[in-house]
């Protein structure tokens, strides 16, 4: 009886009947998804024609034949540098070219030699580089297995779901939905007919897969057997729901697979509408069931099967073979680049609202921050600042003198962001529209006229950002003499770039709209990527290539990390939305987009004071920290909720600012390596299964663990502190806790549970000022947290904070290490130069013993004895004013 009840409960919880899909398609309503999903596993019609195999030094090509219709495909296989294998499949002779996604890869990936190990009539075995990796090509049915030693890392078409809808003449087949389909009142003309592609991947030994943002779902992806696949199709979803696989604003077709042994990744380079199915042979089993298997020894190897389905284009897939998570990050970064290095100021706090009404309003909010002594760096203007939603203009009454306003903000060393959306008001008196139209830069409708849709300004055109000449022109519009009223402290926000079309199918563009020769269908998911690319380029160009840009985007694709920041769109002032901000940003970080945040406070609806405070406390520890609110909500600047809540919010924002040196160093690291800044625990503790599904806590870099309070009325949280041999220090009380335990932490409204890893050194600036620029020359306090071996290590990075001069080696990068009772700073980049005014004002050792004497030695100075203070109750040793320059070589000895 109980079992029945449990089954019923499980069915209820996993079923999709509760999801209101409203205006958006289910797989069943998307004809290609329905067709592809109807295919049965184990019936692959594809056969490799081994006699067509050609192997050059860098490339294997091979024809595949579909035995049902005799259509031939061409398979290309490349071994890429850095343990990546690329598999491309296209029609051997398509009726017309199929779309291949340009501009996402930072370069043509460099290859490594492939060699033939063996061959017979059943298949071919190739060697993949030095690591005893082989790829086995089986002929009948066609299948690829990537093997290392005795382990199969990944298999392709192992379930036989490879499908390639070849381009055909209209007369050939007239199945429903192939040549025309209608959703709600919108008819998609589909002049090219069916063109979908699909491929399955098996991941033996894998029980955890992550990535493929953007979805409002848990960090660990769920199996999709009982519902719709995860959908990747950039959409402007009004009041999105949580914990479901529906598509949202952005799409990164990258999935990571992890087990205690290995991390791998799949990058499916396709910009058309895509659906991803996930199934697992252990998913249905309870913990008890798994234990039973283990005891009875009947356990089969766990395995996750994944299947990608896209509407058009080709199969172009990069198999990133790890073996560690950090290797996968490096592999993906080598393909699509790393997080852009933002100006330091963008890492501070951002104050946004739809809308700050006029210049006077902006001034009053700015003054409010000073009056309440809360730091902030950016104030934002939403669409109402424009002259009738004509971007690149200012409302002549409300924002009559924008330069005066910007100067006022500059006088406080602060910045501003103004929105520029990619829908352009159709208005013959609007310069931007006239230029785009006369240059023919608009996307065309299926009949060849300029595509028009409804958005904020009413009838609007959509510039074709896939055109390089269009992007160059757009970038030139950000020049100070073109975009009137702007100054160097004005930055840009690209919203609605999915693109959002209020009267279009699923609130976006018709798939039969044309970008030159290509249909919108082929490249929908990359439109937003190009908008941000062109905008960022504009900001770089207006400064003559000197200044780093800052551009926020809502839509994104693989590679968007190169152009700025991303936020999770129009969330709501609800506790669950606060919670979901963690897995949503963690998922983005795993696929390269580190600069992620959610609207603090929630966009729709009005937060309670408690929710707002908790959101500030959470947002202060997420990479992009911006409060934002809908036009219809009451004002919610931090001082409007009574003095107690103002104080709580002030404290959260101040904690952010004290940590800016650490955050900035994390951004530099992400920019160099592609590693996520905000990362799941399993990335650092890959062998600890307890971490694999955690998404209510996270790490910033390696050294800070954050478990925000995201429950209403919470009196305590249970944080998992990882690492069997590790210790963690509460950053507020300096209390030491052992790793590999679930720690219950009682909380009050002021609590933000944050822990510093024993073995790390974190630089902070404790003199919190009005904005990050005001703190530029301030001294550092080093927090040295000792591990049980009494060692610690950290870094300190500094540059001018806003130019590209760091690329010309103008920065300082120090390694700080504590070993053998000596703390020292050595130069990590001897060929770089940068002079800082900042000095070390304080060193705080956590988990320290009381020394009898502490002395300091710099390279050119005499040995100095340092004053110190030891608190035996907390084992904290504080060195008073050592005073050395932050860029110097020095050693502090503890005796």
* Binding positions for other proteins, rule: CB under 8 A: 357, 361, 373, 411-413, 631-635, 766-770, 773-775, 778, 841-842, 880-881
Sign of CA dihedral 477, 480, 481, 483: positive
Q: HEC string of 370-400? A: HHCCCCCCEEEECHHHCCCCCCCCCCCCCCC
Q: Which is nearer to other proteins, 157 or 773 (CB)?
A: 773
Q: Which residue, among 812, 814, 765, has the nearest Cα to 375 in the 3D structure? A: 765
Give the residue with the Cβ less far from other proteins, 232 or 405: 405
What is the token pair recorded at 157? 């078409």
Q: Minimum CB separation from other proteins for residue 637, in Å?
A: 9
CB of 841 to other proteins, least distance (A): 6
The answer to whether residue 495 is catalytic is yes
- Name the minimum Å distance from CB 634 to other proteins: 5
Instruction: CB nearer to other proteins: give 125 or 766.
Output: 766
What secondary structure letter does DSSP report for 807?
A: G
Going across the sheet that includes 349-351, the strands are: 596-597, 565-567, 551-553, 490-494, 415-419, 378-381, 349-351, 625-627
Residue 322, phi-psi category: left (phi > 0), alpha (psi -120 to 50), beta (remainder)? left
Q: Is 172 a catalytic residue?
A: no
Write the burial class of residue 4 (CB in 10 Å: 0-12 exposed, 13-18 middle, 19+ buried): exposed
Residue 33 or 775: the one with the smaller Cβ distance to other proteins is 775
Q: State whether residue 210 is helix, strand or coil.
A: strand
Q: Answer yes or no: are the C-beta atoms of 600 and 614 closer than 8 Å.
A: no
By beta-carbon proximity to other proteins, the closer residue of 723 and 779 is 779
- 225 vs 416: CA distance, rounded Å: 47
For 610, phi then psi, to 5°, come to -65, -45
CB of 504 to other proteins, least distance (A): 23
Q: What is the DSSP letter of 443?
A: P
- In whole angstroms, give the CA distance from residue 398 to residue 854: 61
Handedness of CA 769, 772, 776, 781 (dihedral sign): positive
Nearest to 68 by CA among 46, 84, 39: 46
Q: Which residue has the tokens 């927090």?
A: 783
d(CA 199, CA 654): 49
Using CB atoms within 10 Å of the CB of residue 79, give its burial: 0 to 12 exposed, 13 to 18 middle, 19+ buried.
Answer: buried
Coil, strand or helix at 857: strand
Do 252 and 211 touch, CB atoms closer than 8 A?
yes
12: phi then psi, degrees, rounded to nearest 5 = -65, -45
Pick the catalytic residue from 188, 277, 327, 495: 495
The DSSP secondary structure of 82-121, one letter per residue, reads TTEEEEEEEESS-SSPPP---SSSSSPPPEE-EEEEEEET
In the complex with other proteins, which residue's Cβ is closer, 299 or 357? 357
Contact (CB, 8 A) for 379 and 364: no
d(CA 352, CA 332): 33
Closest distance of CB 345 from other proteins, Å: 14
Cα within 13 Å of Cα(192), Cβ side: 25
Q: How far apart are CA 341 and CA 105, in angstroms?
A: 18
List 570, 688, 696, 703, catalytic entry: 570
Q: Mind telling me the catalytic residues?
A: 495, 570
């Amino acid at each position: 009886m109980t079992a029945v009840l449990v089954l019923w409960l499980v069915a209820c919880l996993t079923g999709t009947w509760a999801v209101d899909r409203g205006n958006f398609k289910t797989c069943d309503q998307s004809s290609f998804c329905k067709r592809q999903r109807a295919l049965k596993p184990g019936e692959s019609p594809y056969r490799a024609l081994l006699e067509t195999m050609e192997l050059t030094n860098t490339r294997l090509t091979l024809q595949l034949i579909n035995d049902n219709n005799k259509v031939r495909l061409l398979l290309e296989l490349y071994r890429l540098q850095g343990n990546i294998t690329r598999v491309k499949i296209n029609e051997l002779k398509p009726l017309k070219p199929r779309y291949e996604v340009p501009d996402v890869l930072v370069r043509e990936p460099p290859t490594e030699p492939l060699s033939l190990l063996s061959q017979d009539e059943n298949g071919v075995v190739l060697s993949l580089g030095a690591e005893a990796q082989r790829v086995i090509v089986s002929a009948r049915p066609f299948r690829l297995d990537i093997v290392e030693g005795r382990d199969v890392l990944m298999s392709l078409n192992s379930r036989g779901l490879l499908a390639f809808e070849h381009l055909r003449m209209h007369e050939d087949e007239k199945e429903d939905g192939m040549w025309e389909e209608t959703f709600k009142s919108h008819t998609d003309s589909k002049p090219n007919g069916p063109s979908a592609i699909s491929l399955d991947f098996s991941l033996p030994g894998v029980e955890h897969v992550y990535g493929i943002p953007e979805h409002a779902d848990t960090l660990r992806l769920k199996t999709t057997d009982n519902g719709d696949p995860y959908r990747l199709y950039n959409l402007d979803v009004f009041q999105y729901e949580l914990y479901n696989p529906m598509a949202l604003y952005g799409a990164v077709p990258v999935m990571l697979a992890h087990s205690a042994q290995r991390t791998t990744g799949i990058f499916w380079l396709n910009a058309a509408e895509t659906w991803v199915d996930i199934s697992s042979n252990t998913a249905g089993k309870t913990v008890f069931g798994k234990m039973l298997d283990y005891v009875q020894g009947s356990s089969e190897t766990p395995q996750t099967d994944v299947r990608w389905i896209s509407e058009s284009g080709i199969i172009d897939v990069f198999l990133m073979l790890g073996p560690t998570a950090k290797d996968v990050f490096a592999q993906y970064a080598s393909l699509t680049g790393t997080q852009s290095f933002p100006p330091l100021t963008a890492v501070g706090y951002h104050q946004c609202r739809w809308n700050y009404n006029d210049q006077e309003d902006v001034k009053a909010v700015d003054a409010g921050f000073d009056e309440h002594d809360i730091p902030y760096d950016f104030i934002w203007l939403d669409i109402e600042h424009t002259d009738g939603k004509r971007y690149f203009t200012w409302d002549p009454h409300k924002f009559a003198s924008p330069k005066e306003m910007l100067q006022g903000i500059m006088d406080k060393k602060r910045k501003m962001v103004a929105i520029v959306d990619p829908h352009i008001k159709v208005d013959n008196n609007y310069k931007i529209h006239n230029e785009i139209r006369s240059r023919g830069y608009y996307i065309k409708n299926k009949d060849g006229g300029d595509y028009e849709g409804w958005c904020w300004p009413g009838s609007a055109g959509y510039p074709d950002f896939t055109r390089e000449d269009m992007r160059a022109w757009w970038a030139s519009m950000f020049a100070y003499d073109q975009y009137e009223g702007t100054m160097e402290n004005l930055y840009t926000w690209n919203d609605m770039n999915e693109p959002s079309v209020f009267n279009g199918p699923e609130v976006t563009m018709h798939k039969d709209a044309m970008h030159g020769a290509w249909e919108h269908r082929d490249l929908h998911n990359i439109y937003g990527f190009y908008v941000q690319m062109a905008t960022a380029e504009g900001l770089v160009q207006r400064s003559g290539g000197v200044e780093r840009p800052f551009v926020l985007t809502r839509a994104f694709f693989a590679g968007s990390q190169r152009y700025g920041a991303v936020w999770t769109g129009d969330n709501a002032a609800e506790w669950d939305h606060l919670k979901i901000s963690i897995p949503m940003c963690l998922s983005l970080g795993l696929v390269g987009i580190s600069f992620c945040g959610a609207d603090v406070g929630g966009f729709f609806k009005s937060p309670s004071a408690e929710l707002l405070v908790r959101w500030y406390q959470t947002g202060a520890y997420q990479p992009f920290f911006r409060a934002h609110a809908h036009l219809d909500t009451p004002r919610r600047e931090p001082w409007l909720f009574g003095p107690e809540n103002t104080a709580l919010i002030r404290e959260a924002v101040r904690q952010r600012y004290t940590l800016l040196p650490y955050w900035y160093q994390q951004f530099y690291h992400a920019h160099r390596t592609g590693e996520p800044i905000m990362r799941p625990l399993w990335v650092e503790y890959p062998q600890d299964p307890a971490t694999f599904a955690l998404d209510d806590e996270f790490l910033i870099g390696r050294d800070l663990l954050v478990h925000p309070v995201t429950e209403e009325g919470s009196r305590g949280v249970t944080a998992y502190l990882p690492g069997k041999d590790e210790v963690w220090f509460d950053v507020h009380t300096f209390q030491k806790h052992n790793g590999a335990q679930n720690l219950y932490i009682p909380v009050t409204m002021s609590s933000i549970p944050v822990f510093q890893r024993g073995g790390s050194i974190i630089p902070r600036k404790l003199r919190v000022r009005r904005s990050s620029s005001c703190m530029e020359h301030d001294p550092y306090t080093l927090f040295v947290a000792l591990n049980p071996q009494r060692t610690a290590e950290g870094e300190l990075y500094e540059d001018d904070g806003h130019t590209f001069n760091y690329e010309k080696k103008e920065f300082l990068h120090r390694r700080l290490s504590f070993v053998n009772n000596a703390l020292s700073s050595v130069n990590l980049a001897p060929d770089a130069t940068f002079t800082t005014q900042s000095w070390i004002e304080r060193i705080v050792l956590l988990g320290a013993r009381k020394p009898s004497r502490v002395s300091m030695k710099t390279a050119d100075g005499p040995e100095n004895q340092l004053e110190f203070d030891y608190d035996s109750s907390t084992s904290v040793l504080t060195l008073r004013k050592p005073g050395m320059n932050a860029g110097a070589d020095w050693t502090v000895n503890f005796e």
